[in-house]
Amino acid sequence: MNSPVDNGLASDNRRLLLRLALSALVMFGFGFLLVPFYEKICEATGINNVLRPEAEAGARFAADAPLNSQVDASRSILVQFDANLHDLPWRFQPVQRSVSVHPGQLVHVEYEVTNTRAEPITGQAVPSYGPQLAGQYFRKLDCFCFAQQTLAPGERRIMPVVFVVDPALPSDVNTITLSYTFFELKGRSAASSAGGRAS
């Protein structure tokens, strides 16, 4: 290994060794780089948005998201919201006056209610539909009318209604009005306030 030719070979070898060792080092870093890289890919394509399902709408891979095949996108129904009080010292109104929905689509709307009196009151909302026929095609998955609502003095509450309009809705119905009327449950309220006083 002393001849000049061999020295040339030795330095060639060393140069190649350094280059290969460097590429091994770069690949070690690349392993770690894969972490942010995958995150960005998933973010850009919307593949792995477990935490933000709503982001799927704009994503390129949205087609792979579970699609609700029951939605009839060819029809739009105008759903109007109405709120009434029956002898109740409350303020009660829908957050949105109306929404346009496709039959089969899951819709989430809200109502706002405020107790203006200085004592707790329990009320129960009763829905009604216009036209009345639409009621049987109106499927509520969640509604504040499913339970009695007890409001503390001055309490303001946002309450949900989650519903689907059945695609079997007759084709001549294009507008549905959902109207709620709150009634006071006097007995309950008295009992609860009596209980409160007793303790």
Partner 1 sequence: MAAVTPDQLHGHHAPRGVMRWLTTTNHKDIGTMYMIFSFIMFLSGGVLALTIRAELFKPGLQVVQPEFFNQLTTMHGLIMVFGAIMPAFVGFANWMIPLMIGASDMAFARMNNWSFWLLPPAAILLIGSFFAPGGATAAGWTLYAPLSVQMGMGMDLAIFAIHIMGVSSIMGAINIVVTVLNMRAPGMTMMKMPLFCWTWLITAYLLIAVMPVLAGAVTMILADRHFGTSFFNAAGGGDPVMYQHIFWFFGHPEVYIMILPAFGIVSQIIPTFSRKPLFGYASMVYATASIAILSFAVWAHHMFATGMPAAGQLFFMYATMLIAVPTGVKVFNWIATMWRGSLSFEPPMLWATGFIFVFTMGGFTGLICAIAPIDIQVQDTYYVVAHFHYVLVAGSLFALFAGAYYWLPKWTGHMPSEFLGKLHFWCSLVFFNITFFPMHFLGLAGMPRRIPDYALQFADFNALASVGAFGFGLSQLIFIVVVVKCIRGGERAAARSWESAEGLEWTVPSPAPYHTFEEAPVVR
Binding site for partner 1 (CB under 8 A): 1-3, 9, 12-13, 16-17, 20-21, 23-32, 34-35, 38-39, 45, 47-48, 61, 64
What is the rounded CA–CA span in Å between residue 166 and residue 148? 26
Q: How far is the CB of 27 from partner 1 (least distance, A)?
A: 4
Contacts of 14 (CB under 8 A, 6+ apart): none
Please give, one letter per residue, the 3-state secondary structure of 70-130.
Answer: CCCCCCCEEEEEEEEEECCCEEEEECCCEEEECCCCEEEEEEEEEECCCCCEEEEEEEEEE
How far, in whole angstroms, is CA 49 from its chain's centroid? 14
- The DSSP string of 19-50 is HHHHHHHHHHHHHHHHHHHHHHHHHHHTTT-S
Compute the least distance from the CB of residue 52 to partner 1, in Å: 13
Nearer to partner 1, 29 or 195 (CB): 29
Least Cβ distance, residue 21 to partner 1 (angstroms): 6
Q: How far is the CB of 36 from partner 1 (least distance, A)?
A: 10
Spatial distance between the Cα atoms of 114 and 121, rounded to a whole number of angstroms: 11
64 or 142: whose CB is closer to partner 1?
64
Of 56 and 155, which CB lies nearer to partner 1 in the complex structure? Answer: 56
CB of 1 or CB of 198, closer to partner 1: 1
Q: How far is the CB of 37 from partner 1 (least distance, A)?
A: 10
* Nearest-approach distance from CB 73 to partner 1, in angstroms: 22
Q: Closer to partner 1 at the Cβ: 34 or 190?
A: 34
Cβ distance to partner 1 smaller for residue 27 or 126: 27
**Helix, strand or coil, per DSSP, at residue 167:** coil
d(CA 10, CA 15): 9
